[in-house]
Amino acid sequence: MADFKDLFQSADWKTEKHVPAIEAAEKVKKGEFLSLKVSVGKEIPHPNTTAHHIRWIAVYFHPKDEKFPYEIGKFEFTAHGESAQGPDTSSIFTHPQVDLKFKTDKPGVILASSYCNI
């Protein structure tokens, strides 16, 4: 039986197309919002077809010295070329990238995960 942690691809986003890239400032002033850009396929493009695509990205903040992270957002990408005429028949596609802001008074680590449909 597989362990849940073994189901995650965890290589650097520059070498693994399923790992989200997180772009953010290194530091932010206390009380200010931190802007994030999270995407999949920044260096290695991920397919975006009805049969193979990124369905969602979830973003977390894990405060220093706390046991568990907080989910700060989950974003779905639901258009991948499908239509009533069948797979890959429309020209409507979403791209797995999201911009968001959050604030905290604590130091910590930003984490992200994504889900590929295959």
Cα gap 72→57, rounded to integer Å: 11
3-state secondary structure 61-72: EEECCCCCCEEE
Q: Other C-beta atoms within 10 Å of 109: how many?
A: 11
Contact 74, 56 (CB under 8 A): yes
What are 42-96's pLDDT values in tens digits? 888 888 999 999 999 999 999 999 999 999 999 999 999 999 999 999 999 999 9
- The confidence score (pLDDT) of residue 2 equals 67
The amino acid at 28? V
Number of domain units in the chain: 1
**Does the pLDDT of residue 29 top 60, yes or no?**
yes
- The confidence score (pLDDT) of residue 87 equals 94
Cα gap 69→111, rounded to integer Å: 9
Domain range for 37 is 4-116
CATH code of the domain containing 53: 2.60.40.730
**Does the pLDDT of residue 8 top 80, yes or no?**
no
* CA contacts within 13 A on the Cβ side of 46: 32
Model-level pTM?
A: 0.85
Buried b (16+ CB within 10 A) or exposed e, 68-87: eeeebbebebeebbbeeeee
29 secondary structure, DSSP code: -
- The confidence score (pLDDT) of residue 31 equals 86
